[in-house]
Structure 1
């Protein structure tokens, strides 16, 4: 019986040591390949649109990447436009937020090269172009947050703000910025 317990303890120790080692891509055992996950979801990240003023889409400092506000870029290069509560439904706003997430991921990939380097989506700031009596801002921004979790799993869960705005540039329905932690 003592030998059986000793074998069990040694096996458990070996398993815990080998299970905690990452592979050459920096991913830990059990992590999903983010690029493969995007393919499974049918998402293709195109080239991010260039900034339209004197700013950059992303700034990296140490192991944090700060992404500028992104809008809902359609695959054809145009933007979703409209105001929640008058022009767009909550569901259309959620789809716009999802498109914004895809746009942000394209900029993030351009900045860091490989989305598997993401350790955590830390913070999301979602702004919703809404009529004064519209109150479902958080429901709209769920389109962004839900995609982050679909893509990154637990690493995609983040702190968040979802606020209403009287207007946004070009009458886009959402503008979203985020902060991401990446591996060193």
Structure 2
């Protein structure tokens, strides 16, 4: 089987970043039965936070969308490091986002669309997912968004 997700990412001009190390005492990826759970990922690039601050105060919706794309790319990097390819992914099941924002910011779904749209482009028919997004006061490292991802696996 060929890794069609990697081919689609390459066609989009997107490269997987090196997966960030966990920032605490937890595992970045846990495989449990047919489910793969990726711990919260933020917009880290080369070991540094690429985006910081609150949406609606320090960052625009478009900057939030870019931070969401980078966050989901980090999640995909974690999956690829764990599995060696994306061939075992049957479906992206759930995407959860936490958006650090000003009190009067209400465009959370538009920010998380940056991640959802990248998943749709990369996984095509396997990308349909449930999702939730909430606004929070702050996130570790002052990042504007953090996402978690759950995928269903084909048997190995």
Q: Is the 8 A contact 1:35 1:116 kept in 2?
A: no
The structure having more radius of gyration, on CA atoms, is 1
Residue 42 in 1 paired to residue 13 in 2? Answer: yes
For residue 120 of structure 2, what is the aligned residue in structure 1? 149
Secondary structure of the corresponding residue to residue 161 of structure 1: strand
For residue 91 of structure 2, what is the aligned residue in structure 1? 120
Q: TM-score, normalised by structure 1?
A: 0.80
Kindly indicate which of the two structures has a greater share of residues assigned to helix. 1
Q: How many residues align?
A: 154
Secondary structure of the corresponding residue to residue 125 of structure 2: helix
Kindly indicate which of the two structures has a greater share of residues assigned to strand. 2
Secondary structure of the corresponding residue to residue 119 of structure 1: strand
> Take 1:134 and 1:172, find their aligned partners in 2: how far apart are those partners?
16
Q: Is the 8 A contact 1:126 1:176 kept in 2?
A: yes
RMSD: 1.3
The CA deviation at 1:70 is 0.2
Q: TM-score, normalised by structure 2?
A: 0.94
* Runs of 5+ unmatched residues, structure 1: 1-24
Moved over 4 A (4+): none
* Runs of 5+ unmatched residues, structure 2: none
Q: Deviations over 1:53-84 (max 9, x none)?
A: 1001110011110010000123x432111100
Larger RCO of the pair (alpha carbons < 8 Å, separation 6+): 2
